[in-house]
Structures are given as structure tokens and as C-alpha cells.
Chains A and B, each alone.
Chain A
């Protein structure tokens, strides 16, 4: 699915380059996925991360602050799920089983996703 590659590219821009604007996101998002709730949820996560790339007044955008944020963790989970070799139905099941609000370390995310994959 080419759209998934496009989405992965967008997420990489947010996570690693942090240089995408909201207007670019609106433009780049593959509109063919608009009716799919699964992808809409991922879009919401990406949009939220772009909107809330924040910094304290008069301070440089802190990479560590961003990496410790909830939006960053959610986006990493979305990214790793999309990067797995699941078919679309498995992707949906995997994402639905994630507790996005559970306080997990970034290093634990791989194990969580692996466990979910094995249980499907």
C-alpha cells in the first residue's frame, strides 16, 4: 500500500526532522484514506504532534522535551505498527490493542508491539 509509505515518510519528517508545518501536512496527507477511521486516527496523532511541537518561551525547541512528550510516544507507536509487515486488518487489530495512555518507556514499545503481533 503506497499510502502507508507516504504516511511513514510524513511521520519520519515529524519525528526525526521536526520541520513539517501544518499546511504541509494538510497538503501531503493522502486524501484517498479520508474515509478510513484507522488512518484518520493516525492522522490525528500526526497533526497533534505537529501542532504541539512546543518550546518554553525564549528557549530552543528541546529535543529531549519532545521525545518525552505523550504525542511523541504515540507517534512512535503508530510508526512502528505501520512499519511492521502486517496486512491492513492486522494493523487495525494491533493498533486497537495498544493502550496509548499507559506510561511506557520508548525502549519498551518494540516488545509491546512484538507481543501483540505474536498474539494475532
Chain B
């Protein structure tokens, strides 16, 4: 006996009547028609299947009145897993972007925007907070129209980001800008991951570059560029 979850993809069907009220397309491939409790697929008759009662067929869920509790949980769980994975993917993409100069520039802009958001007197900060409030309001208004999968996805994505925030709070706290060297970096005291301007090729005759590098105060500076430059110049 074939078992088919038909509750997911149509909303007009009433399980209680068992009469033809609508057509459904549960698999996204073929049309099915209900007639006196018997389903007929386009081009043939569908095998016997079971239908579970959803209970409250007049519910307001956007997913459809016939969605079972188990189905909702399953959809939500599926969305959560996908959302969590989406959060991880976005983080991987972020770190990939740090292999490019543009990625570091974007990071700097993002950090400045983040700081702007907290600035109570800046016009830009006010505008950003207003937009954020509008977006939040729109999102909340749309919650009743969201599917369980969408809610699960957003919850999964948000959970992953919340975990990241906890894990990277120290990273954010170590962020510094270096206006005299036109750059920024993450200062952990005994080691720094920086991007700023520095000079290669000698103090008086050299040239300025703007590159990501690692510093260990008192031991290593502008690694690896400074070391490569000295090796090239034989000093």
C-alpha cells in the first residue's frame, strides 16, 4: 500500500467530506483529483494510500489547514538544519573573501557600519536604526504567512549566527583602527592581525604598501612582507 503525504501541498481539500473539492499536486509532477474518496492521477489511477486527519482543518497556518503536528515539526526541523547550514556557508564565504583585498575592505566597512549603528547622534546611525526597525516590523508582520520550513530556516540561521557571535565576541573586542597607517586590525596584545600601510624597500628610498600581515610586538613586524623585502634586498 502506497503511503502518501498529501496534506502538504493543497489547502482546499477537506478530509472530513471525502468528496471532490479540489485537485492537488503533492509531488509537483502530476495532477490528482479527489472523487468520492478516490484519488485519480492524470493518466491513471493512484494506488491506495492513507491520509491522516489533521485535526483542526480550519487552522490559520499558512502551510495549509491539513498539516499535521508531526509534519510541522518535520518541516521546521528540516528548515532549521538547512538554515544552520546556510549560516555556516555564509561564514565560510566570509573567510574566503578575506583572501582578497576587497574582502578586507568590506570587513572594515562592515565594522564601521556596525559602530555607526550604535552612534546616537549621527544622522547615518539614526537612518540605519530606522531601517532596521522597519525591517524588523515587516518581518514580524510576515510571520503568520511563513511556512514552518521558513521559520525553521530563519531560526537555524539565527542560531548559528548567535553561536558565532558568542565565539567571536573576543575578536570584535580586539578590533582597532589605525588612522595614522590607514588601516585596521585585531589586536590580541601579544599578536596582531592587521591591514594597513607600511613601507618596504628602506625608510627613505622605499615605497608604501597596504597589505594584510601579522605583527608580534617586539619580535616580528609586517610578516611576511617585511622579511621577504629584507631577503630580496640582502639586508
Chain A interfacial positions (CB closer than 8 Å to B): 21-22, 25-27, 29, 31, 34, 44-45, 47-48, 50-58, 69-71, 74, 100-101
B218 close to A (CB within 8 Å)? yes
Partner-binding segment picked from B27-35, B146-154, B186-194: B186-194
Q: Are B218 and A55 in contact (CB under 8 A)?
A: no
Residues of B close to A21: CB separation below 8 A: 180
B46 close to A (CB within 8 Å)? no
In the assembled complex, the CB of A49 is this many whole angstroms from the nearest CB of chain B, namely 9
Q: Which residue of B lies closest to A43 (CB)?
A: B203
Contacts between the two chains (Cβ within 8 Å), count: 77
Q: Are B178 and A100 in contact (CB under 8 A)?
A: no
27 A-B contact pairs sorted by A residue (CB < 8 Å): A21-B180, A22-B180, A22-B198, A22-B199, A26-B203, A34-B203, A44-B221, A45-B218, A47-B221, A48-B215, A48-B217, A51-B180, A51-B196, A52-B185, A52-B187, A52-B194, A53-B180, A56-B177, A57-B111, A57-B115, A57-B177, A70-B217, A71-B217, A100-B218, A100-B219, A101-B190, A101-B219
Q: Are A29 and B176 in contact (CB under 8 A)?
A: no
Residues of B close to A25: CB separation below 8 A: 203
Q: Which residue of A lies closest to B217 (CB)?
A: A70
Q: Are A74 and B177 in contact (CB under 8 A)?
A: no
CA A58 to CA B115, docked complex, whole Å? 7
- From 170 to 184 in chain B, residues with beta carbon under 8 angstroms from any chain A beta carbon are 175-181
A-B CB proximity, top 6 nearest: A57-B115, A100-B218, A54-B176, A51-B181, A26-B203, A70-B217
Tier of interface size on chain B: 20 to 34
- From 192 to 210 in chain B, residues with beta carbon under 8 angstroms from any chain A beta carbon are 192, 194, 196-199, 203-204, 206
CA A8 to CA B160, docked complex, whole Å? 52
Residues of B close to A74: CB separation below 8 A: 217-218
Residues of B close to A57: CB separation below 8 A: 111-112, 115, 177
B119 close to A (CB within 8 Å)? yes
CA A101 to CA B198, docked complex, whole Å? 23
Chain B interfacial positions (CB closer than 8 Å to A): 111-112, 115-116, 119, 122, 175-181, 185, 187, 189-190, 192, 194, 196-199, 203-204, 206, 215, 217-219, 221
Residue with the greatest number of chain A CB neighbours at <10 A, chosen from B175, B177, B181, B196: B181
Residues of B close to A58: CB separation below 8 A: 115-116, 119, 122
CA A70 to CA B206, docked complex, whole Å? 27
Contacts A22-B197, A70-B189 given; does A55 touch B180 at CB 8 Å: no
CA A47 to CA B181, docked complex, whole Å? 10
In the assembled complex, the CB of B214 is this many whole angstroms from the nearest CB of chain A, namely 12
In the assembled complex, the CB of A82 is this many whole angstroms from the nearest CB of chain B, namely 15
In the assembled complex, the CB of B105 is this many whole angstroms from the nearest CB of chain A, namely 15
